[in-house]
Structure 1
Amino acid sequence: MAAHATPHFHNQPGVRQVRVGAREFMCVGALPPFDHPHIFIDMGEDNEAICSYCSTHYVFDAALHGGCEPAECAFDPELAQI
């Protein structure tokens, strides 16, 4: 199976905003089995985006280098396929 190059994030904790270190990523909503369709979000030149499914507010932070804050909002789709 191919490795995913696009970071995936969720908002299972229900935080007000998730800071992310990527302008292009996938939002999965909550953790499976309560996730929504995994949608691609491209901020372009903007520094924030809102998921059209779950309304999570994502804010770009270059210092995170592809990660996220809170760190528990990172999602690895490879680990979810058991």
Structure 2
Amino acid sequence: MADKIVPHFHNDPGVSSIAIGARRFMCIGAKPPFDHPHVFLDMGDDTEIVCPYCSTLYKFDGSLHGFEARPAECALEETRAA
């Protein structure tokens, strides 16, 4: 089993951008069953990235934990480690 879980984020609220505390993550578009293929995104040294499927703009915010988002409801809770 993997020792790290990749955080997952979605844009169910339909906001123009989401601040997140991770530079490497999965975008799922919307919550299932309306999700798009889960896309692994890596910002590298950049502070922003756009999902190629749903066009959500993700912005890195170092004040957030890796699984946190602003708005908070955009973090998929099921991906947190137990």
C-alpha distance after superposition, 1:17-73 (max 9, x if no partner): 000000000000001110000010000000000000000000000100111100000
Aligned CA-pair RMSD: 1.9
- What TM-score results when the alignment is normalised by the length of structure 2? 0.87
Q: What are the ranges of 5 or more consecutive residues in structure 2 without an aligned counterpart?
A: none
Tell me the distance in 1 between the aligned counterparts of 2:8 and 2:33: 15
Tell me the distance in 2 between the aligned counterparts of 1:61 and 1:11: 17
Q: Which residue does 2:18 correspond to in 1?
A: 18
Q: Which residue does 1:51 correspond to in 2?
A: 51
4+ residue runs over 3 A deviation: 1-4
Tell me the distance in 1 between the aligned counterparts of 2:2 and 2:56: 27
Tell me the distance in 1 between the aligned counterparts of 2:37 and 2:54: 10
Tell me the distance in 1 between the aligned counterparts of 2:21 and 2:62: 5
**How far did residue 76 of structure 1 move?**
3.4
Structure ranking higher in helix proportion: 1
Q: Which residue does 1:69 correspond to in 2?
A: 70
